[in-house]
């Protein structure tokens, strides 16, 4: 094979023959940005190397879990030890109890939790639990928030105010989403109208406190406060989907950030994933004891999983939580993330390119707009061709961002000040080319 052969292209062509689209999750295919996906061979710290041996500074970190960076020694040691003891038992272990205890200690809105294997599984079951606990069928979600690929949650907004949504995927019958009400993110007036019309029929309201799948859009404090108030008023459960934000934006997760501005704020059900598994397939959902006791074997809401509480995944998660609980961890992580966004904004302004960004903890997002969007409609005003130019310009300079306009980014503890500086310098070169 020629030394000029792009092994990423070779692997992609092989993959497309045996895997739909050549990938096992759609965004990886680079269809949104064009070009060939990078096939990762190995990763360490803040970097990964592709099939050609090219190194990239990684700002997706497996879409959030790698908060410590790749291959943290303490995590690797814990996983290796656990693997020697056994991969899977299908029976209880002490380690899953330890992980549950640690998560509950750090997120006190929950009194009990159940471990599962994916965020999709956790959000799907949280909806079922809310329905079982309230005896109601309908629920609210928001356009631009992604809660996994279960049928009832693959929904786009309906045709009018407070109308029920339409499926966004083939294979989802309209009757499956007939109880899913889709509203505009950060729209208090629409929220109030929806509760006035359907409040006594709502099992729950599910929301990403910081939406990470329309890039990075945070719920305003007044909007989040109104979500809490209306759920309490009408007897619906407030479900915070913190699969992405959990332990990523703060040690107490996003709910602790909102609690600083909203006295007594807490969700009824919390969904967690990504960071709690440290890169292994692991997620969880939790709530008060009264709500969680509706789950089998105590109650009538059924949920089960062969690999739930997997001993290797729980070892990875426990080791990760131990490291991020150390004093000063989030202050340092947040400072690095802020410096990245501030530096990118300064570089863009210097070249006359519209740019705005935001961050919390180790999660960030930016838009090639002059003001931060507040909902999905505003996010859609971003120019895809300009983002694609920025994405490929950075990729050519060894910087790996999410290969899609509508995905948040992540900084890890392994990123150094030099990494941040080099990224900003690379971006300045690309912004200069974009401005011509």
202 in Cβ contact with 234 (< 8 Å)? yes
Q: Which two tokens mark 384?
A: 């895809």
Q: How far apart are CA 122 and CA 88, in angstroms?
A: 20
Question: Which residue from 260, 228, 217, 193 is spatially nearest to 367, judged by alpha carbons?
Answer: 217
274 is an active site residue: yes
16 counts as catalytic? no
Q: Which of 50, 58, 241, 268 is catalytic?
A: 241
Among 47, 56, 59, 146, the one annotated catalytic: 146
Query: Distance (Å, rounded) from C-alpha 52 to C-alpha 349?
Result: 34
Measured distance CA(19)–CA(23) in Å, rounded: 6
The CA-atom distances, in angstroms, between 398 and each of 38, 202, 423 are 11, 48, 9
Q: How far apart are CA 70 and CA 68, in angstroms?
A: 7
Q: Is 268 one of the annotated active-site residues of the chain? A: no
Angle between helix axes 311-324 and 94-106 (nearest 10 degrees) is 30
Is residue 142 within 8 Å of 184, Cβ to Cβ? yes
Identified catalytic residue from 138, 274, 336, 400: 274
Strands, E assignment, 210-322:
210-211, 217-218, 237-242, 269-272, 283-287
Cβ neighbourhood burial of 289 (10 Å; 0-12, 13-18, 19+)? exposed
Q: How far is CA 25 from the centre of its chain?
A: 14
Strands (E), 2-154: 40-44, 47-50, 55-58, 112-116, 138-142
Q: Report how far residue 2's alpha carbon sits from residue 111's, in angstroms, rounded to the nearest whole number.
A: 59
Phi, psi of 14 (to 5 degrees): -60, -45
Q: How far is CA 315 from CA 29, 63, 98, 101, 172, in A?
A: 31, 20, 10, 13, 36
Torsion over CA of 323, 327, 329 and 330, rounded to 10 degrees?
120
How many residues in the chain? 436
First to last CA, the chain: 39
Show which residues are catalytic.
Answer: 146, 241, 274
């Amino acid at each position: 094979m020629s030394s000029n052969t792009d092994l990423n292209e070779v692997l992609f062509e092989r993959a497309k023959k045996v895997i739909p689209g050549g990938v096992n999750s759609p965004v990886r295919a680079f269809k949104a940005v064009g070009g060939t996906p990078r096939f990762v061979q190995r990763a360490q710290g803040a970097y990964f190397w592709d099939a050609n041996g090219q190194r990239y500074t990684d700002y997706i970190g497996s879409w959030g879990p790698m908060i410590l960076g790749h291959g943290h020694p303490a995590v690797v040691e814990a996983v290796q030890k656990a693997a020697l003891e056994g991969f899977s038992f299908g029976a209880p272990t002490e380690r899953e109890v330890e992980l549950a205890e640690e998560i509950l200690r750090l997120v006190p809105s929950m009194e009990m939790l159940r471990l599962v294997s994916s965020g999709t599984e956790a959000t799907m079951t949280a909806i079922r639990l809310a329905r079982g606990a309230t005896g109601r069928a309908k629920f609210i979600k928001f356009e631009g928030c992604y809660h996994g690929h279960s049928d009832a949650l693959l929904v786009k907004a309906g045709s009018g105010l407070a109308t029920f949504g339409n499926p966004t995927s083939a294979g989802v019958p309209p009757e499956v989403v007939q109880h899913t009400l889709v509203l505009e993110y950060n729209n208090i007036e629409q929220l109030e109208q929806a509760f006035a019309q359907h409040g006594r029929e709502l099992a729950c309201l599910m929301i990403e406190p910081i939406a990470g799948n329309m890039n990075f859009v945070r719920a305003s404090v007044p909007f989040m406060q109104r979500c809490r108030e209306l759920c309490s008023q009408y007897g619906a459960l407030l479900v915070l989907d913190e699969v992405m934000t959990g332990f990523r934006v703060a040690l107490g997760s996003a709910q602790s950030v909102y609690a600083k501005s909203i006295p007594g704020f807490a969700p009824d059900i919390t969904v967690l994933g990504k960071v709690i598994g440290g890169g292994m397939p692991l997620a969880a959902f939790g709530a008060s004891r009264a709500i969680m006791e509706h789950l089998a074997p105590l109650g009538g809401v059924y949920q089960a999983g062969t690999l739930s509480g997997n001993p290797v995944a729980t070892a990875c998660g426990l080791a990760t939580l131990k490291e991020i609980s150390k004093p000063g961890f989030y202050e340092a992580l947040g400072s690095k993330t802020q410096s990245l966004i501030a530096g990118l904004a300064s570089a863009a302004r210097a070249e006359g390119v519209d740019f705005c960004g935001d961050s919390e903890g180790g999660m960030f997002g930016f838009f090639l707009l002059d003001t931060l969007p507040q909902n999905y409609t505003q996010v859609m005003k971003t120019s895809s061709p300009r983002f694609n130019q920025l994405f490929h310009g950075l990729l050519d300079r060894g910087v790996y961002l999410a290969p899609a306009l509508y995905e948040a980014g992540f900084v890890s503890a392994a990123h150094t000040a030099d990494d941040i500086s080099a990224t900003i310098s690379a971006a300045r070169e690309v912004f200069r080319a974009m401005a011509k």
